[in-house]
Amino acid sequence: MKASIKFLAGSLVFLSIAFLTASGHVGKIIPFAGTLNEMGFFMLSGAMGILYAIAGFSAESSDTKGSIR
């Protein structure tokens, strides 16, 4: 199984943003309107990080036999 570095790098970025949001560091930079907005931002960035990690390890992202190019 080969891993796609582009998707794994994106996953690392999104998961680090989610971690920094949960620890409260992003709240000092971005003024959220409320705690629910901050929680939604955390959940969205965390879900994107998990989905990018899944896409990075999937066979379709690293397999180029069926591509048009």
What mean pLDDT is predicted for residues 23-30?
A: 93
Q: What percent of the chain has pLDDT over 70?
A: 83
What is the rounded (10 degree) CA torsion for 42, 20, 10, 45? Answer: 0
Give the number of residues written for the chain. 69
How do residues 45-65 score in pLDDT, each as one tens digit?
A: 999 999 999 999 886 655 555
Q: Dihedral (C-alpha) 61, 64, 66, 69: value to the nearest 10 degrees? A: 120
- pLDDT, residue 68, reads 60
